[in-house]
Amino acid sequence: MYAKLIEYAERASFRFPPERARRMLGMMPDALLKRMQAARFRQTVRLVAERSPFYREEFRRRGIDARAVRRPEDLGDFYTTGEDLRRCGAEAFLTGRPDTAFETTGTTSPVPKRVFFSNRELRDVGRSGAIGLRNLGLRRGDRVISAFDSSFWVSPATARESFRYIGCFHAEAGKIEPAEFYERARAYKPNVIFGEPSWLVRLSELVQARGAWPVKFLFSGGENMTEQARSRVESVWRAPLYMSYGQTEAFGAMGVECAEQDGYHRNDLNYFFEVRGADGDGYGELVYTTLDRDVMPLLRYRSTDVTRMVEEPCRCGFFLNRIGKIRARCDEMVVCGMGNVGPWVFAELLRGASAASAEWQAVVTSDGRRDLVELRVETQDLAAQHSIEAAVLAALRERFPDFWKNHEMRLYDLRVAACPPRSLRTERKLRRVVDERQMLLRRAI
């Protein structure tokens, strides 16, 4: 009943102008929101227990009675992981007939995770995304051009659906060369630009030399960004750059910044968030349960992102509470200008480099403009650095067309550094991918 009531309030609010919609949803008492979340959570548990082979089997194995589960804690130490998705296949999670699918690659394995959705879910995601974009000032009269990569990626689809709700003009450029974008996009006079962080940095370098046109704001997501890089983009365009936080598994954005740029306002209507293994400051792994999915719901899905819940109200007054800025990833996957990269990518790049030993480490840094990926490789012959680098670049071009494309667009630099034997391993386990970029917080949260 609460779920229905909230659904009605959500839908009704969209018939009003943005400020009124925001006020209407903002009037929802916290207790009502919590009861709605609990009702939707129970519904989701029952649905997956009934229809998803993966959850049915896991519940049976662990002796979990779905009818007795009322809160996430009732599931004990049971979580869903990306590895479960890869190992069992998306089909084992299905509870309904899908209309569409998206993929997320990288992480610690070359096998992509596939996630299915319905058109109804796409419409709902578009609607909640539109609330966040309206909060940032996107209006019907605006003109958006998006350079999000549309190859199996969820964000162009969900963004398009949000634009439809808002009613603004919108064109898709795809992730093309920034120089080509600059020439072709201008003809549409876009005042809002969507793009991935490293791509926006490259575009802004070009714009600095050739001249900007007036924009209301820029919008980004899909990878992290240093505050230094953000300030550069903002100073070139003389406009704010806002970030969103999400995952393909979650069907895009679970949180969007506001004008304060002080954490992501989280979508408590459609997700139940938890922080797993929180430290003294509340930082731990973000875990979420989808609350209104009927095709491929996920229970307590481990995001592998480290952050904290921010329960203090935001200065902007927006009714949704926040997720802090993402601090790190729990696994060794790194999201950078190269793309989503994990240890397997570098192992593959080094496969044909005969002078390289099995001891190597990839270190991601940033010069404030673009990411630098330094592949440190132990070798008996330090003079082999150039031949190793040539082999790595050849493998990149041959075997990883997406990473090569980003390299050609100068979204990152890739270098090989030859190191003497036994210089890299300082502990028992050699950490293969290290992210040394400092995600400087504009304000400590």
Tokens of 214: 């007036």
Q: Does 416 bind Zn ion (CB under 5 A)?
A: no
- Give the pairing type, strands 328-329 and 360-366: unpaired
Q: Does 316 bind Zn ion (CB under 5 A)?
A: yes
- Closer Cβ to Zn ion, 74 or 260, answer by number: 260
Alpha-carbon distance of 257 to 341, in angstroms, equals: 25
Q: Which stretch binds Zn ion (CB under 5 A): 70-78, 206-214, 241-249, 317-325?
A: 317-325
Site string for Zn ion, 275-314 (x = CB under 5 A): ---------------------------------------x
* CB 135 to Zn ion: min, Å: 8
* CB 318 to Zn ion: min, Å: 5
* CB 166 to Zn ion: min, Å: 19
Alpha-carbon distance of 115 to 112, in angstroms, equals: 10
C-alpha distances (whole Å) from 79 to each of 62, 72, 136, 284 are: 12, 10, 34, 14
- Closer Cβ to Zn ion, 132 or 178, answer by number: 132
* CB 22 to Zn ion: min, Å: 11
- Closer Cβ to Zn ion, 147 or 314, answer by number: 314
Total number of residues shown for the chain: 445
Alpha-carbon distance of 125 to 132, in angstroms, equals: 11
Q: Looking only at residues 219 through 278 of this chain, which bind Zn ion when binding is defined by CB under 5 A?
A: 258, 260
Helix (H) or strand (E) holding 419: strand 412-419
* Helices 227-237/197-210 angle, 10° precision: 40
Query: Angle at Cα 170 formed by Cα 174 and Cα 207, nearest 5°?
Result: 60
Q: Does 318 bind Zn ion (CB under 5 A)?
A: yes
* CB 265 to Zn ion: min, Å: 6
- Closer Cβ to Zn ion, 93 or 271, answer by number: 271
Q: Does 136 bind Zn ion (CB under 5 A)?
A: no
- Closer Cβ to Zn ion, 314 or 353, answer by number: 314
Residue 357: other Cβ atoms inside 10 A = 15
Written as one string, the DSSP assignment of 186-197 is GGG--SEEE--H
Count the residues of the shown chain that bind Zn ion, applying the rule CB under 5 A: 5
Is the CB of residue 17 less than 8 Å from the CB of residue 165? no
* CB 200 to Zn ion: min, Å: 22
Q: Which residues bind Zn ion (CB under 5 A)?
A: 258, 260, 314, 316, 318
